[in-house]
A and B are shown apart, each in its own frame.
Chain A
Amino acid sequence: MGLDYNIPEFIIERDQDRCIDCQVCQHQCANQVHAYDQDLEKMVAQDIDCVNCHRCVTLCPTNALIIRENPSEYKKNKNWTGNMIENIQKQAATGGILLTGMGNPTAKKIYWDHILLNASQVTNPSIDPLREPMELKTFLGRKPDQIEFDDNGELKDLPPQLELDIPIMFGAMSFGSISINACKSLAKAASDLGLMYNTGEGGLHQDLYQYGQRTIVQVASGRFGVHNEYLNAGAAVEIKVGQGAKPGIGGHLPGEKVGAEVSKTRMIPKGSDALSPAPHHDIYSIEDLRQLIYALKEATDYKKPVSVKIAAVHNVAAIASGIASAGADIIAIDGYRGGTGAAPTMIRDNVGIPVELALAAVDDRLRQEGLRKNVSLVVSGSIRNSADIVKAVALGADAVYIASAALISLGCHMCQKCYTGKCNWGIATQRPELVKRLNPEVGAQRVKNLITGWSHEIKEILGGMGINALESLRGNRLMLRGIDLTEKELEILGIKHAGK
């Protein structure tokens, strides 16, 4: 094709006064950016192959490396930005779809950042969580119409519930899209913390059955790795209808990532592409969804709650209402900023709606229809910190899924190249030499530290509001105020503007 029009996205600066030629950067880069030049007697770099994952920067023992965005500028143009031009150059060279990983990075409004939280002053005392008990415990699942007790004082006929010590779960990421060590890190952290993690659509690896009580097993359109033992191994079953990063399309795991273990777990031939159909071909209506929900309940003896995960799209409230009517116990809504291991860039950046608006709309609709107690609401895409969680709960969520944040705690630096399978952090890869870079004991501890930190923060924020149980904040939108929002946005969010 002649000249490659692409220029390096990043420039690697190496401080030669600091560089000790230890070649750690070279050993750590799966993109083979760094090399020791025998003639020049120094380390050199191929900028064009750098994805800015920061592996070399983090491991360089002398802080000799800095990676910068290529400062080379295009002629100023608000319409044809450098990014637009480069995308076209890439496609002109390859004829392919633009692929990407992780969540939507575009500069669209992030509603969490336009919502402010309340705190107590004078007339209602705030609570100090270090001195007084503070309850974050959350139960997910259908709540009974009325409470009855048996002779032993136990609740009668309580539908199956998921008990969470903190209202956080690790979102669906399949074994295949992420490494077994990443799966183990999340599963162990969830078990130790009393949370749930979600298998994603890739089945359950044999080594992970031990964490079954803290596992939500997913059933997606490809039905990879789904069998009776799998369904009964987890504490809940989730039907994946959609994903925030790519609503309307199914997962794509390239054959290169389907090694022996992934093949065995997914029950597909080694090296074959694992392409999930865009729809579930047995679900073309709410009635069909009901059939699958009850088929799964039947398979699990009505002992496990069934969740339905959808992407936040235009008619999300009506869709959620249908899902609640279809018999789901949990509805998970994934916003358009949700992450992915691989998605077409145009879809990730342009399809779906913000989860904040979807959550408010769904919670309102379910309340109006008297369905809210029938289902628990879980939101994701993207929850970035503890304040986002508090805001989500006040808007009406029962719990949140976090996935990108969990991966960042494992080492992810958001280079968005998950789809290449060359993750230098040992997360989104199946290459054994890269997978081993993530020690699951270290990984689990880092995730646990993150969640522990967040739970302290949530308690502090609740205490400040004078609330001592998260349950009292659920759907309590009076604790929220909007800033820089239009009347319409405030109306949809169901919150007042700051100052009101």
Chain B
Amino acid sequence: MKRVYAREEYCLGCKLCEVYCVTSHSKSKDIVKAHKLEEITPRIIIESKDNISFALQCRHCEAADCTKACITGAIQKDEETGIVNYDAVRCVGCWTCIMACSYGVIRRDEYGDKVISKCDLCITEEEPACVTNCPNSALEFEERE
């Protein structure tokens, strides 16, 4: 399946991916409104230390630990698309998935009281918003072995 890959050597650490992730997951889809009027936790994490930085989001693992850890079946891997989906309605906010994820890319939703926040690969769009809007092509959305 196509996944988002980070190219650390070209990541600026500008965090524009975060800005566009929030916009993409907003109701308004408007960059200013999404940030000023809505409360959204970005689905992407920028890891940085000194001069090194890169953006990380759900790897949509083949055998995803989070799906096994989830006690209600709120996180499930779609066999067809390969995407690890999250269903907020089923989620009880136990956060076991957060502990189970070895990449640390599932976060507690800062604005909700039980749900989590994770990358959905912007499934309705042609390409994830973080990839489209990276100013230095430091994120690639492609099929790799």
Could you tell me which A residues sit within 8 Å of B by CB distance?
17-18, 20-24, 27-28, 59, 61-62, 432-433, 436-439, 441-442
- Report B48 CB to chain A, min CB distance, Å: 9
- List, in ascending order, chain A residues with CB within 8 A of B15's CB: 22-24, 27
Q: Are A62 and B137 in contact (CB under 8 A)?
A: no
**B11 CB contacts on chain A under 8 angstroms:** 436
The 8 Å CB contact of A18, one of B7, B9, B14, B32, is: B32
Closest-by-CB residue of B relative to A28 is B14
CA gap between A23 and B16 in the complex, in Å: 9
Known interface pairs A439-B7, A439-B136; 6 further A-B residue pairs with C-beta atoms within 8 A, sorted by A's residue number: A17-B32, A20-B35, A23-B15, A24-B14, A24-B19, A439-B137
**Which residue numbers of B lie inside 8 Å of A, CB to CB?**
7, 9-16, 18-20, 31-32, 35-36, 51, 133, 135-138
Which residues of chain B have C-beta atoms less than 8 A from A438's C-beta? Answer: 136
Q: How far is the CA of A386 from the CA of B138 in the complex (A)?
A: 32
Nearest to B12 among chain A residues (CB) is A437
Chain A residues near B35: list those with CB within 8 A: 20-22
Chain A residues within an 8 Å CB radius of B133: 61
A22 to B32 Cα, complex, angstroms: 11
B136:A442 contact, CB within 8 angstroms: yes
CB atoms of A61 and B19 under 8 A apart: yes
Taking a contact as CB atoms closer than 8 A, the residue among B16, B18, B20, B138 that contacts A59 in the complex is B16
In the complex, which residue of chain A has the Cβ closest to the Cβ of B136?
A439
In the assembly, what is the distance between CA of A439 and CA of B133, in Å? 15
- The one of B32, B51, B137 in contact with A433, judged by C-beta atoms closer than 8 angstroms, is B51
Residue among B32, B135, B138 making CB contact with A20, cutoff 8 Å: B32
Q: Check B31 against A59 for contact (C-beta < 8 Å).
A: no
A61 touches B20 (CB 8 A): yes
Taking CB atoms, residues of chain B closer than 8 Å to A27 are 12-15
CA distance A57 to B12 in the complex (A): 16
Across the A-B interface, the 3 shortest Cβ-Cβ residue pairs = A20-B35, A433-B51, A439-B10
Which residues of the other chain, A, contact B36 by a CB distance below 8 angstroms? 20
- Total A-B Cβ pairs within 8 A: 55
- Which residue of chain A lies nearest to B7 when distances are taken between CB atoms in the complex? A439
B14 engages A442 (CB within 8 Å): no
Residue from B12, B36, B136 having most chain A Cβ neighbours under 10 A: B12
Partner of B31, one of A17, A21, A62, A433: A62
A446 to chain B, nearest CB (A): 11
The docked-state distance in angstroms from the alpha carbon of A441 to that of B9 is 12
Bound complex: CA A11 to CA B112 (Å): 40
With A61-B20, A432-B51, A439-B137 known as contacts, the answer to whether A20 contacts B31 (CB < 8 A) is: yes
- Chain A residues with CB below 8 A from B20, complex form: 61
Q: In the bound complex, what is the Cα–Cα distance between A23 and B18 (angstroms)?
A: 11
Query: Bound state CA distance, A441 and B7, in angstroms?
Result: 12
The contact sample of 14 A-B pairs, CB cut-off 8 A, is A18-B32, A20-B31, A22-B18, A24-B15, A59-B135, A61-B19, A61-B133, A62-B31, A432-B51, A433-B51, A436-B9, A436-B12, A437-B12, A441-B137
A17 to B37, CA, bound (A): 12
CB proximity of B114 to chain A, nearest CB, Å:
27
Residues of B within 8 A of A20 (CB): 19, 31-32, 35-36
Which residue from B7, B16, B51, B137 sits with its C-beta under 8 Å from A24?
B16
A102 to chain B, nearest CB (A): 23
Question: Chain B's nearest CB lies how many Å from the CB of A29?
Answer: 11
Is the CB–CB distance between A59 and B19 below 8 Å? no
Q: Which residues of A contact B7 (CB under 8 A)?
A: 439
CA–CA, A18 and B51, complex, Å: 29
A436 to B20, CA, bound (A): 21
Chain B: CB-nearest residue to A441:
B137
Q: Determine how close the nearest CB of chain A comes to the CB of B15; give it in whole angstroms.
A: 6
Kindly provide the distance from the CB of B55 to the nearest chain A CB, expressed in whole angstroms: 13
CB < 8 Å: which of A17, A59, A432, A439 contacts B14? A59
| Residues of chain B with a CB closer than 8 A to A433's CB | 13, 51
Q: Is the CB of B19 within 8 A of A22?
A: yes
CA of A432 to CA of B9 in the docked complex: distance in angstroms?
Answer: 10
Judge whether B19 and A437 touch: CB under 8 Å: no
Residues of B within 8 A of A22 (CB): 15-16, 18-19, 35
Q: CA separation between A22 and B7, bound complex, in Å? A: 22
Distance A44 CA – B136 CA, assembled complex (angstroms): 26
Min CB–CB distance B109 → chain A (angstroms): 19
A441 to B12, CA, bound (A): 15
Contact between A442 and B137, CB atoms less than 8 A apart: yes
Hey, which chain B residues are within 8 Å of A437, CB to CB? 10, 12, 136
Most chain A Cβ neighbours within 10 Å, of B20, B135, B137: B135
Query: What's the nearest-Cβ distance from chain B to residue A34, in Å?
Result: 12
Task: Report Cα–Cα, A118/B135, bound state, in Å.
Answer: 42
Q: How far is the CB of A32 from chain B (nearest CB, A)?
A: 15
Inter-chain contacts of A62 with B (CB < 8 A): 31-32
Min Cβ gap A425→B in Å is 11
Kindly state the separation between the CA atoms of A62 and B14 in the bound complex, as whole angstroms: 14
Min Cβ gap A164→B in Å is 29
Chain A residue nearest to B9 (CB atoms) is A436
CA distance A112 to B69 in the complex (A): 71
Q: Which residues of A contact B137 (CB under 8 A)?
A: 439, 441-442
Q: What's the nearest-Cβ distance from chain B to residue A36, in Å?
A: 12
Q: How many Å lie between the Cα of A396 and that of B117 in the bound state? A: 65
Cα of A24 to Cα of B12 in the assembled complex, Å:
10
B12 contacts across to A, CB distance below 8 A = 27-28, 436-437
Distance A438 CA – B137 CA, assembled complex (angstroms): 10
When chains A and B are docked, how far (Å) is the Cα of A442 from the Cα of B31? 25
In the complex, what's the smallest C-beta–C-beta distance from B42 to chain A, in angstroms?
10
Please name all residues of chain B whose beta carbon is closer than 8 Å to the beta carbon of A442 when the two chains form the complex.
Answer: 136-137
With A and B bound together, what is the CA distance between A20 and B16 in angstroms? 12
In the assembled complex, the Cα of A24 lies from the Cα of B20 at a distance in Å of 12
Give the Cβ gap from B26 to chain A, nearest Cβ, in Å: 11
CA distance in complex: A99, B7 (Å): 37
